[in-house]
Structure 1
Amino acid sequence: MADKIAVENVNTPGRTSNVDAGKYIAMRDAMLAVIPQAEPGLTATEIKERAKPLLPEALFPGGATSGWWVKCVQLDLEAKGRLKRHQTKPLTFTQS
């Protein structure tokens, strides 16, 4: 069984889910490498586009499932206070 890591969801406080640790860490590191600390920040689509080339091909062949992982990590980092959601249209994010 692959290593798992517990993730939170800013939309459901107090609830955690277990996900693949390797994929989570790879996506988290890629996202934190591309998300700025200052506004205006990046949209979820921009984060995905910029993070995708930084992902290991072995875990994300051809970028497969990267969209799901961006959302998973985004919600977890928001719950942990590492990402800030800005009320723009579309939503933008910066590091906290």
Structure 2
Amino acid sequence: MSADRVEVENVNHPGQSSRVDAAKYGAIRTLMLSALPAAEPGMTTDHIKDAIRPDLPQDLFPQGKTLGWWVKCVQLDLEAKGAMVRLPTKPLSFLRT
């Protein structure tokens, strides 16, 4: 596997993986894990995006473009790896484990 790509999993499709840009994945993963609380009520996807947007590296995410896709990609991977969990709320909320 190339050093500039990282393999991600999807909690909704066990056993399947994809390869994505390692720098973008790493940036979003670090920001998400630092923003996510470990206790309820957790954070919704919109709250996560709002929390990490100010610290996005502009060289990777100019004007926050594709932020939503990357947050979802990292969220599904972190859930598959057990680093975060979803709560049975509407809208969905997430916690760091």
TM > 0.5 between the two? yes
Gaps of 5+ in 1: none
Q: For 1:53 and 1:33, how far apart are their aligned partners in 2? A: 13
Q: Does 1:89 align with 2:66?
A: no
Structure 2 residue aligned with 1:17: 18
Shift of 1:16: 0.4
Q: Once the two structures are superposed, what CA deviation does each residue of 1:49-87 show, in whole Å capped at 9, x if it has no partner? A: 111111101000011100000000000000000001000
1-10 vs 65-74, greater mean Cα deviation? 1-10
Q: After TM superposition, give the deviation of residue 2 of structure 1 in Å.
A: 7.4
Q: Is the 8 A contact 1:57 1:63 kept in 2?
A: yes
Of stretches 77-86 and 1-10 in structure 1, the one that deviates more from structure 2 is 1-10
The letter for the 2-side match of 1:92 is S
Gaps (5+ residues) in structure 2? Answer: none
Identity of aligned residues (%): 58
State the 4+ residue runs in structure 1 displaced beyond 2 angstroms. none
- Letter of the structure 1 residue corresponding to residue 27 of structure 2: A
1:1-96 equivalences under 5 Å are 3-96=4-97
What TM-score do you get using the length of structure 2 for normalisation? 0.96
User: Hey, what's the Cα distance between the residues in 2 that align with 1:89 and 1:67?
Assistant: 18
| CA distance in 2: counterparts of 1:29 and 1:78, whole angstroms | 15
Partner Cα separation in structure 1 for residue 15 and residue 54 of structure 2: 33
Q: Distance in 2 between matches of 1:56 and 1:30?
A: 10
Structure 1 contact 30–51 (Cα < 8 Å) conserved: yes
Q: Contact 1:2/1:20 (CA < 8 Å) preserved in 2?
A: no
